[in-house]
Structure 1
Amino acid sequence: MLAPDTKTTEKPMDRIDQLVAAHRPGHGLTRPFYMDPDIYERDLERVFRRHWHCVAHESVIPKPNDFEVFRMASEQVILTRHADGTIHAILNVCRHRGAEVCTKDKGNARVFVCPYHAWTYGNDGALKAARLMPKDFKREDHGLKTLHVRVVEGLVFISFADNPLDFTEVENLLHATCGQYGWAQAKVAHRQSYPVDANWKLAVENYVECYHCGPAHPEYSQTHALEQPLHMIEALNAAMEERTCALGIQIGSGDHWQTSANGKETIHAFRYALYDGVKTGSQDGSALAPLMGRFTEFDGGVTSVHLGGTSFLVCYPDHGMIYRFIPKGPEACEMELIWLVNGEAQEGVDYDLEKLKWLWTVTTDEDKSIIEHTSRGVRSHYFVPGPIAPMEQNELRYINWYLDEISRA
């Protein structure tokens, strides 16, 4: 009698897993990763619903009962400030028939009344009233879906995950970076959204590398030394750190860029120099706004923070930038830029808004153009990704991180 076959049968790889397995190390992603609707849905499931996202600076809802609606893919998140000052993130989906309970983009409200059947919710998501429901109906079981929220140095982060990734390393590094620049006491000076006809990954990949800065961003490259290879700016970086230390300031940096395999959120913070004589990210390198945080003088440096895969921060001594990347479909996304200044600064008195936003408006206009050029190119059936250049090391790391994330259920 033959012994039973005790070999285990491995689950066959699906089409997406096969594409991941076929990825050529050291090269860019192939065409389907920027176009395939199934891959886009997996991106939403394993990147956007798993990781933390920066949605705003808390100064956008300064008063009790203020709210604003944020849209990410097919989701609508109502960010609210409760009467007790706490910030909540709730989904704009009625628990009765699914209608949008909030029909305005922003405002001030203690409650949200569904326009369909008048179910009424508090701005913390609790169901307050459900007209003509039976006596055994339990309101406490039918509140709006609430998301996890963290507020660190004025930045509001949300997670769609039931059990979100550990945020400890992110929080510590944000205190050591944005905290030194006074972001908790900052305010939003301007916000601008850019619709982009491209998959969200093309936009992020463009952001994380500066190999393209010289050819594509002549304005940025006149003031920011990051457009040079690292070995060419080591002396500038060392001089920058000396100036920072002379001001009695220690700004943290750290590389915790990791997959979610260990249950922790990913973050990387690094510093780089501006060219000699340049104070900040402006058209001519001159100051734009009052100094922030612990800075009493300009140190000629920039702190950059990448976190969670979709949120990116830029810190200058006199202003800050938040970059948000938002999926809109397999071949569409949105970039939102948020300018921060000292919370006490007054537009027209302490800063000129047009000058404040000039550099990153020009740079992002150029980015939108080059990303859309690339998107049209990768649609070609003949597109074959080439090797990643040494100056694109952050893009290579991002690609490897992304492939690992969508491979993990």
Structure 2
Amino acid sequence: MLAPELSQDSTKGDCIDQLIAAHKPGHGLARPFYTDPDIYERDLERVFRRHWHCVAHESVIPKPNDFEVFKMASEQVIVTRHADGTIHAILNVCRHRGAEVCTRDKGNARVFVCPYHAWSYGNDGSLKAARLMPKDFKREDHGLKALHVRVVEGLIFISFAENPLDFSEVENLLHATCGQYGWGQAKVAHRRSYPVDANWKLAVENYVECYHCGPAHPEYSQTHALEQPLHMIEALNAAMEERTCALGIEVGCGDHWQTSANGKETIHAFRYALYDGVKTGSQDGSPLSTLMGRFTDFDGGVTSIHLGGTSFLVCYPDHGMIYRFIPKGPETCEMELIWLVNGEAEEGRDYDLARLTWLWTVTTDEDKAIIEHTSRGVRSHYFVPGPIAPMEQNELRYINWYLDEISRAS
């Protein structure tokens, strides 16, 4: 039996709703969810523009008037640090004729001047000057579109929604997790972006499950016990928590993975062990950098955080990882990796960049290949999604969450 397709005799919305209704529980998504332009547009409307996204660590704009432009789907967002230290997120769209007002990827600027007609905006988005406009023109009504911003433990989050989802549970859990690892005092050591020829959901689904870790990631699987079924690592996890408590640290966990129906953002934080003798996520398990936050020794564990549908965090005692998944089109996306270290650490003295980045570079190179293999496969007219394995429980939960999100207009 072939996978269901979008019918040609109904409205676009009806077709998508019929496809959602036809989804077989416990199975993967049908081909159109990864290829159809109309579903992609609904993804942008009901997932991308509804939820919060982590765009960066604030250390990328350390000085007053620093800025960086982030390209997400069809949007360009200028993230700025105002002269008073506050962080703003504004759309790179002139309020006159729509031209890009900022033509550099990053820099330092108090004012952005549109290259088309020279309207000038402060780096908080306020319109400062609009040449030759009539006397009754009100500058205060024509500032750049501002997005909602939250900064928690050094992480910058933005929301495109007019009325964003409640962020309080996310904020509390980030304090209990990233806060213990000192992310508020961290800095970015390295960033790398991966263009991927696949729908963004294929990339996220791959990230959230470790059923593939054994076959696809031999390097990761030598040090991380998550590649084993949960019941097989319970003893390792118990020993990890004992070591963490002995250090006087309580790293929070919490499962607030929920749909937006109740007006709250979703987050899930959990911990898992490294194999005995492994201290951190390195090639041989040995330390990579100076310890962070409240850690005075290695506890042999990892804290993993999934939030908002596109942002994922990994905490080790000596470094951290931010994973960003960015839709680019119906069958293209981007993965950005951001490596964090202690804010006082110096490259060449406290860490070697090649060693720091080795594991997750190797792993992500492998992920990109396997995601693109999958993308080519699901384009087949004969592709039928199979059942989700027990070790893919996070993928199953993600799929169910996603289907609920795109089922609801608000």
Normalized against structure 2, the TM-score is what?
Answer: 0.97
CA distance in 2, matches of 1:110, 1:347: 31
CA distance in 2, matches of 1:347, 1:2: 54
Change in Cα spacing, 1:3 to 1:375, as seen in structure 2 (3 Å) is closer
CA distance in 1, matches of 2:196, 2:133: 45
Q: CA deviation at 1:32?
A: 0.1
Contact 2:347 2:353 in 1 (8 A): yes
Question: Structure 1 regions of 5+ residues with no counterpart?
Answer: none
Change in Cα spacing, 1:248 to 1:121, as seen in structure 2 (3 Å) is same
Q: Classify the secondary structure of the residue corresponding to 2:147.
A: strand
Contact 2:3 2:385 in 1 (8 A): no
Match of 2:130 in 1: 130
CA distance in 2, matches of 1:4, 1:195: 29
Change in Cα spacing, 1:13 to 1:186, as seen in structure 2 (3 Å) is closer
Question: Structure 2 regions of 5+ residues with no counterpart?
Answer: none
Contact 2:3 2:30 in 1 (8 A): no
Measured against aligned partners, the alpha-carbon deviations of 1:361-391 in whole angstroms (never above 9, x if no partner) come to 0000000000000000000000000000000
Change in Cα spacing, 1:10 to 1:41, as seen in structure 2 (3 Å) is closer
Runs of 4+ in 1 over 4 A off after TM superposition: 1-13
Q: CA deviation at 1:2?
A: 47
Q: Percent of aligned positions with the same letter in both sequences? A: 90
Change in Cα spacing, 1:25 to 1:84, as seen in structure 2 (3 Å) is same
Change in Cα spacing, 1:229 to 1:8, as seen in structure 2 (3 Å) is closer
Contact 2:65 2:82 in 1 (8 A): yes
Q: Classify the secondary structure of the residue corresponding to 1:146.
A: coil
Q: CA deviation at 1:9?
A: 20
Change in Cα spacing, 1:284 to 1:6, as seen in structure 2 (3 Å) is closer
Change in Cα spacing, 1:8 to 1:86, as seen in structure 2 (3 Å) is same
Q: Classify the secondary structure of the residue corresponding to 1:394.
A: helix
Match of 1:159 in 2: 159
Measured against aligned partners, the alpha-carbon deviations of 1:309-336 in whole angstroms (never above 9, x if no partner) come to 0000000000000000000000000000
Match of 1:249 in 2: 249
Q: Classify the secondary structure of the residue corresponding to 1:195.
A: strand
Q: Classify the secondary structure of the residue corresponding to 1:67.
A: strand
Change in Cα spacing, 1:34 to 1:139, as seen in structure 2 (3 Å) is same
Q: CA deviation at 1:3?
A: 45
Q: Classify the secondary structure of the residue corresponding to 1:14.
A: helix
Question: Higher mean Cα deviation, 326-335 or 8-17?
Answer: 8-17
Contact 2:4 2:30 in 1 (8 A): no
Measured against aligned partners, the alpha-carbon deviations of 1:128-176 in whole angstroms (never above 9, x if no partner) come to 0000000000000000000000000000000000000000000000000
Q: CA deviation at 1:214?
A: 0.1
CA distance in 1, matches of 2:2, 2:87: 66
Contact 2:3 2:384 in 1 (8 A): no
CA distance in 1, matches of 2:4, 2:398: 46
Q: CA deviation at 1:70?
A: 0.1
Q: CA deviation at 1:404?
A: 0.2
Question: Higher mean Cα deviation, 1-10 or 193-202?
Answer: 1-10
Q: CA deviation at 1:348?
A: 0.6
CA distance in 1, matches of 2:344, 2:222: 30
Q: CA deviation at 1:8?
A: 26
CA distance in 2, matches of 1:179, 1:75: 30
Q: CA deviation at 1:12?
A: 11
Q: Classify the secondary structure of the residue corresponding to 1:56.
A: strand
- Cα RMSD, aligned residues only: 5.4
CA distance in 2, matches of 1:397, 1:8: 30
Measured against aligned partners, the alpha-carbon deviations of 1:183-232 in whole angstroms (never above 9, x if no partner) come to 00000000000000000000000000000000000000000000000000
Q: CA deviation at 1:69?
A: 0.1
CA distance in 1, matches of 2:365, 2:2: 71
Q: CA deviation at 1:5?
A: 35
Change in Cα spacing, 1:247 to 1:127, as seen in structure 2 (3 Å) is same
Q: CA deviation at 1:56?
A: 0.1
Match of 2:46 in 1: 46
CA distance in 2, matches of 1:92, 1:300: 44
Change in Cα spacing, 1:7 to 1:171, as seen in structure 2 (3 Å) is closer
CA distance in 1, matches of 2:159, 2:60: 19
Change in Cα spacing, 1:120 to 1:29, as seen in structure 2 (3 Å) is same
Contact 2:187 2:343 in 1 (8 A): yes
Change in Cα spacing, 1:6 to 1:288, as seen in structure 2 (3 Å) is closer
Measured against aligned partners, the alpha-carbon deviations of 1:281-303 in whole angstroms (never above 9, x if no partner) come to 00000000000000000000000
CA distance in 2, matches of 1:255, 1:4: 33
CA distance in 2, matches of 1:272, 1:3: 36
CA distance in 2, matches of 1:2, 1:372: 22
Change in Cα spacing, 1:63 to 1:383, as seen in structure 2 (3 Å) is same
Measured against aligned partners, the alpha-carbon deviations of 1:29-51 in whole angstroms (never above 9, x if no partner) come to 00000000000000000000000
CA distance in 2, matches of 1:4, 1:243: 50
Match of 1:87 in 2: 87
Q: CA deviation at 1:393?
A: 0.1
Contact 2:209 2:393 in 1 (8 A): yes
CA distance in 2, matches of 1:307, 1:181: 18
Aligned residue pairs, count: 409
Change in Cα spacing, 1:2 to 1:170, as seen in structure 2 (3 Å) is closer
Contact 2:3 2:383 in 1 (8 A): no
CA distance in 1, matches of 2:52, 2:274: 30
CA distance in 1, matches of 2:7, 2:318: 64
Contact 2:281 2:316 in 1 (8 A): yes
Question: Higher mean Cα deviation, 316-325 or 1-10?
Answer: 1-10
Contact 2:2 2:382 in 1 (8 A): no
Q: CA deviation at 1:7?
A: 28
Change in Cα spacing, 1:94 to 1:239, as seen in structure 2 (3 Å) is same
Q: CA deviation at 1:10?
A: 15
Normalized against structure 1, the TM-score is what?
Answer: 0.97
Q: Classify the secondary structure of the residue corresponding to 1:13.
A: helix
